[in-house]
Amino acid sequence: MWYMEAAVNLTLSIDQRLLEKARRTAGAMGLSLNEMIRQYLERIAGEGDKAAAFEELRELCTSRGGHSAGRTWRREELHRA
């Protein structure tokens, strides 16, 4: 997602045990339960429009004038700690 629209609050009624398991699952993924649910809804709603994202990236690359001038990098150079 490239921008954030106005957020809307949503209330769910779920079993307490399910809530606790979902929180643990989200935590194990390094996410809050809110983030995990949002990502799931974006995925099933088709919000991850890859073609549009690619086109935006392509436009940014061509409009900013960035160029490597033929310079190349080795993997080790890019991943130094």
Backbone angles phi, psi at 15, to 5 degrees: -65, 140
pLDDT tops 80 at residue 75: yes
Q: What is the pTM of this model?
A: 0.51
pLDDT tops 70 at residue 3: no
* DSSP assignment of 2-49: -S-PPP--------HHHHHHHHHHHHHTT--HHHHHHHHHHHHHT---
Domain ranges of the chain: 16-63
pLDDT tops 70 at residue 43: yes
pLDDT recorded at residue 47: 65
pLDDT recorded at residue 34: 92
Q: What is the mean pLDDT of the chain?
A: 79
Task: Give the pLDDT confidence of 10-40 residue by residue, as tens digits.
Answer: 888 989 999 999 999 999 999 999 999 988 8
